[in-house]
Amino acid sequence: MTTIARTSRGEWAARIVLAMLVLLTVFPFYWAVVSSLTPEARLFEQARLWPDAWTLEHYRALFDERDFLTPIRNSLVVAGTTTIFCIAFGTLAAYALARLHFRGRAVILGFILAVTMFPQITIVSPLYLLLRELRLINTFPGLILPYVTFAMPLTVWLLVGFFRQLPRDLEEAAMVDGATRWQAFTRIVLPVATPGLAATAILTFLYCWNEFLFALSFTLGPERQTVPVAIALFRGQYQVPWGEILAAAVVASVPVAVVVLLFQRRIVQGLTAGAVKG
Amino acid sequence: MITNGGDRRLGWLMLTPALLTIALIAVFPLLWTVWESLHLHDLRMPWRGRPFIGLANYVEIAGDLRFRGALVRTIAFAAVSVTLELALGLTFALAMNRVFRGRGLMRAAILIPWAVPTVVAALLWRFMFESDTGIVNAVLTSVGVLDSPVPWFVGSISAWVPVVLSDVWKTVPFVAILLLAGLQNIDRSLYEAAAVDGAGPWWRLWHITIPLLRPALLVALIFRTLDSFRVFDLVYVLTGGGPGTATEPVALYTFNTLLQNLRFGYGSAMSVVIFMVTFGIALLYIRLLGEGERAASGVS
Amino acid sequence: MATIELERVHKTYPDGHVAAAELSLAVDDGELMVLVGPSGSGKSTILRLVAGLESVSAGEIRIGGRNVTHLPPQERDVAMVFQSYALYPHLSVRDNLGFGLRIRKQPRQLVERRVREVAESLDITRLLERKPAQLSGGERQRVALGRAIVREPQAFLLDEPLSNLDAQLRVETRLELARLHRRLGATMLYVTHDQTEALTLGARIAVLRNGLLQQVADPLEIYRTPANRFVAGFIGSPGMNFLEGVLRDDADGTQRFEGGGLSLPLAQRRSVTGEGEPVTLGIRPQTLTLMPALSTDEPGTVRGVVNAVEQLGSEQVVYCTTTGGERLVAVVAADAAHTPDQLVSAFVPPDEVHFFSARDGVRLHD
């Protein structure tokens, strides 16, 4: 068997595999979208790939009766604020760890990596008791504080990967030109590292948007629940309101999908910069 | 780089806010959990106070059949999921490596399952497996794989199927992209040289691709094993741990003990056990990764 | 402009590697000194020590007489041209050039004027609004130079500035650098691994090996009287030929070199080495004469076989192996008839040979 003949056969096999991958990936979403536009009564009838009756009743109910905008607002506030804090503190820490030499650097890096591997469940109870003492249960700060701890190591880890990839002589040139370390950092390193910062911010935001355990544990009611919690706790009067649940799932997924499509290259850069380095 | 005092001071200054945050709200709670695990602390019975009971909680865990079952189930779940994810992820990565057109769009499309909340993924899959006329039952019976629709969430074993499938669906894209990055780092001329020497595709896969992909594979293995072991969101929404406790992983049992049964002392002890196991797995893998790198650099 | 002085500068890394060993060097005001050596010799490290990008383990560095040993780079008033140019990618050429002055809070008009002047002198005015990514290699190099010149520093440090350019551009830029140096009268410490650059550019050359200075002298002196075997082999292309042997005293009071198939009578005593002491003989390829092999080993000649011939147009380079098994390279006229496997005899002129101790490579004075 010559390699050349196999190449085109191999290429076809690859295409088929990928087509299957895309199909399997997309199908659950397709099914959810289609079902969310199907009247409740028809949902568990004979399954049809393309429905013959359309309705927007689930989406309407979502926003009118269930006030789905509130969890969306909550998620935006919490994820947004957390991301801002994480980027602000994390950028400084990551630069120090990536570039500056001081004793204990390797230990701290290892420590941060270790914290990313913590099982969240391990610190839920003390955080719960602490937040209860501080009367922060079911408040924004009550979520942002734990979120920052859990997202920060991830942010720092990703940013260290990005900073390490920057060529050293840019900062060195700046310093020989007359800049202090700090000036070199703010005027040269930060602007050049902007793509990396953006990727990290996106990943951090997604991480917070998707978080469930802390949000479940530290909120009590719809006023402060985030999107994942709100969807999970949908209750119907008589039966599970699948139509509305799926509508909510679609609404929760669309912004994520948009972000991923727009920034896919940055996101992949961010993931692989930290990970491939090992 | 210059290592003068100014740099050192600046370094610590820049590090402090982040480090303090992590330490304060990650390390101290961890220590607190350990301390708490040595006490009796049941919020339903506040009159009993919070006496120090040493390792009594851990003794109770050792005899707790439900915990043992959860641990076994979690390990089994991790083993099955990770194996599937690595195998499928590698297959897809190899396929993506071959095909050039539309790569960006493809990467974006398959990243979406990874990017959506786990809760959403769980709900999508629950819906598909729900009811006799859910899409899965409908397709499988009409195709003939099943004689009659299966009540997936009622059986102890069958309930695991949607759990494993949804976990694999959600994370295979991430593994594929990670491995794809690793594949792209492999010099094409190695394959060409082997092909000229007469090596077939399986040989090339086994002797070139997999050894050179070893660091990326190990990284994927570490992350996925740890994530599988900590699984919570998925099961909570998909099966609630049911039927009964058939699909209950350790994290869910601990959560129920803490925030539903309000047994903080006992739950803390469970948390510590989970932490130790996670830590052990992580250490094992990091050691393997280090050895792997040493071996790889020796070979090349 | 100012002098650069390194006094007993020592640099050891934590893993034990010694990059600079008790090194003392002085660059005169307005001089272009080239620091040359193979990779790993420590030359870039020394440059970075002078710039302040690395700290010394011991010793003192003075610029313009001022002790800068413990000062950070921004306070040393030197400018550095990096091998990769290190242009700020997010700034325009204009902002790159003006960065140093603006960071020192110089008045805007002064900055604009200087940037304009330097851009004109380097012929990059039309590039001022572009970003570094849009420039060619040669253009980037000029911007890197311009960035240094604008600051009017006390001294210039150049780290292999030509190594990223293609061959033709390298020659042109070399000439431009020499011109620039003359015009500015600047003190320059120039690092390179290319011995041609060293010979053509430097007023003085400092040859470095493993962190130790081998010789500091002007190009001609280094070429004609290399201080040790390493310098002799490093400077000059093709490299000097070496034959191992011994010096023998002859009855009439003269000396004779014997080794490698060569027996060379020397007119006067060339060294104070004792009889039978092992020495290394060095002879440059350009001074050898090749002729068809003689039937015997006449004194002053060595027989060998041609391995390869490289025709350069202006001359030929002939690679041989002697009967003693040593490699011999000769540069001869372009039209001389030499072919591989030809048997030749090489005539070694006794006035052109160098002798080095076989033990430590040091030059044995005549």
Closest chain B residue by Cα to residue C71 = B4
Alpha carbon distance C239, C284 (integer Å): 7
Closest chain C residue by Cα to residue A172 = C53
- Which strands make up the sheet holding C241-249, listed edge to edge? C262-266, C255-259, C241-249, C278-283, C354-357
pLDDT the model gives residue B292: 57
What digits encode the pLDDT tens for the residues A18-40? Answer: 888 888 888 888 888 888 888 87
Among residues of chain C, what percentage have pLDDT more than 90?
45
If you average pLDDT over every residue of chain B, what do you get? 83
Please state the domain extents for chain A.
3-59, 68-277
What digits encode the pLDDT tens for the residues C110-156? Answer: 999 999 999 998 889 999 999 999 999 889 999 999 999 999 899 99
Residue A100 has pLDDT above 90, yes or no: no
Among residues of chain B, what percentage have pLDDT more than 90?
13
Which residue in the block uniquely carries the two structure tokens 């650097």? A105
Residues of A at the C interface, defined by Cβ within 8 angstroms:
167, 169-170, 172-180, 183, 187-188, 191-192
By the 8 A CB rule, do C204 and C33 touch?
yes
Across the interface, whether the CB atoms of A169 and C73 are under 8 A apart is answered no
Residue A267 has pLDDT above 80, yes or no: no
Confidence of residue A212 (pLDDT cuts 50, 70, 90): very high
Phi, psi (5° rounding) for residue C261? 90, 5
3-state secondary structure (DSSP) of residue C60: strand
Average pLDDT, integer, range B137-162: 83
Closest chain C residue by Cα to residue B2 = C54
Three state DSSP letters for chain A? CCHHHHHHHHHHHHHHHHHHHHHHHHHHHHHHHHHHCCCHHHCCCCCCCCCCCCCCHHHHHHHHCCCCHHHHHHHHHHHHHHHHHHHHHHHHHHHHHHHCCCCCHHHHHHHHHHHHCCCCHHHHHHHHHHHHHCCCCCCHHHHHHHHHHHHHHHHHHHHHHHHHHCCHHHHHHHHHCCCCHHHHHHHHHHHHCHHHHHHHHHHHHHHHHHCCHHHHHHCCCCCCCCHHHHHHCCCCCCCCCHHHHHHHHHHHHHHHHHHHHHHHHHHHHHHHHHHHHC
Distance, in angstroms, between C212 CA and closest chain A CA?
A: 26
Cis peptide upstream of residue B243 (ω within 30 degrees of 0): yes
Which residue in the block uniquely carries the two structure tokens 């979403």? A29
pLDDT the model gives residue C157: 94
Q: Which of residues 180-209 of A touch B (CB under 8 A)?
A: 181-182, 206, 209
Q: Work out the burial of residue B4: count CB atoms within 10 Å of its CB; fewer than 13 is exposed, 13-18 middle, 19 or more buried.
A: middle
Contacts across the A-B interface (CB distance below 8 Å): 294
By the 8 A CB rule, do C344 and C364 touch?
no
By the 8 A CB rule, do B220 and B173 touch?
no
Identify the chains in contact with C, defined as 3+ C-beta pairs within 8 A: A, B
Could you say which of 3.10.300.10, 1.10.3720.10, 3.40.50.720, 3.20.20.10 is the CATH number of the domain covering B75-246? 1.10.3720.10
Alpha carbon distance A125, B261 (integer Å): 12
Across the interface, whether the CB atoms of C72 and B2 are under 8 A apart is answered yes
DSSP state for residue B145 in the 8-state scheme: S
What digits encode the pLDDT tens for the residues B18-53? Answer: 888 888 777 888 888 888 888 888 878 878 878 888
By the 8 A CB rule, do A178 and C74 touch?
yes
3-state secondary structure (DSSP) of residue C329: strand
Alpha carbon distance C203, C35 (integer Å): 11
Chain C environment of A99 (Cβ under 8 Å): none
CATH code at C4-234:
3.40.50.300
Average pLDDT, integer, range C73-98: 92
CATH code at A68-277:
1.10.3720.10
Residue C291 has pLDDT above 50, yes or no: yes
> What is the pTM (predicted TM-score) of this model?
0.82
Tell me the torsion sign for CA atoms A185, A190, A191, A196.
positive
- Of B102, B228, B96, the C-alpha closest to B173 is B96
Which residue in the block uniquely carries the two structure tokens 């830029």? C173
3-state secondary structure (DSSP) of residue C158: strand
Positions of E strands within C252-362: 255-259, 262-266, 278-283, 289-292, 301-311, 315-322, 327-333, 343-347, 354-357
Helix (H) or strand (E) holding C156: strand C155-159
Alpha carbon distance C153, B130 (integer Å): 77
Closest chain C residue by Cα to residue B6 = C72
Cross-chain CB nearest to A22 (options B29, B30, B106): B106
Alpha carbon distance B118, B81 (integer Å): 15
3-state secondary structure (DSSP) of residue C38: coil
Token representation of residue C271: 């060294």
Show Cβ contacts of residue A156 under 8 Å, excluding neighbours closer than 6 positions: A90, A93, A94, A97, A112, B18
Alpha carbon distance C76, C50 (integer Å): 9
Look at A272 and A142; give whichever has higher pLDDT. A142
Across the interface, whether the CB atoms of B29 and A126 are under 8 A apart is answered yes
Instruction: Tell me what ipTM this predicted complex has.
Output: 0.83
Which residue in the block uniquely carries the two structure tokens 């948009």? A258
pLDDT the model gives residue B28: 83
Q: Which of residues 130-189 of A touch B (CB under 8 A)?
A: 130, 145-146, 148-150, 152-153, 156, 168, 172, 181-182
**For C241-357, which CATH class?**
mainly beta
CB atoms within 10 A of CB B295: 12
By the 8 A CB rule, do B105 and B146 touch?
no
Confidence of residue B189 (pLDDT cuts 50, 70, 90): confident
By the 8 A CB rule, do C206 and C34 touch?
yes
- Of B156, B178, B172, B167, the C-alpha closest to B77 is B167
3-state secondary structure (DSSP) of residue C292: strand
- Of A272, A274, A150, the C-alpha closest to A214 is A150
Residue B10 has pLDDT above 50, yes or no: yes
The neighbouring-strand residues paired with C328 are C320
Considering only CA atoms, give the Rg of chain B.
Answer: 24
Closest chain B residue by Cα to residue C56 = B2
Alpha carbon distance C97, C112 (integer Å): 10
Chain B environment of A271 (Cβ under 8 Å): 174, 177-178
Q: Which residues of B34-73 are buried (b: 16+ CB within 10 A; e: fewer)?
A: bebbbbbbbeeeeeeeeeeeeebbeeebeebeebeebbeb
Cis peptide upstream of residue A191 (ω within 30 degrees of 0): no
Across the interface, whether the CB atoms of A173 and C72 are under 8 A apart is answered no
Q: Using CA atoms in the order B193, B194, B197, B201, what is the torsion angle rounded to 10 degrees? A: -140
pLDDT the model gives residue A236: 59
pLDDT the model gives residue B291: 66
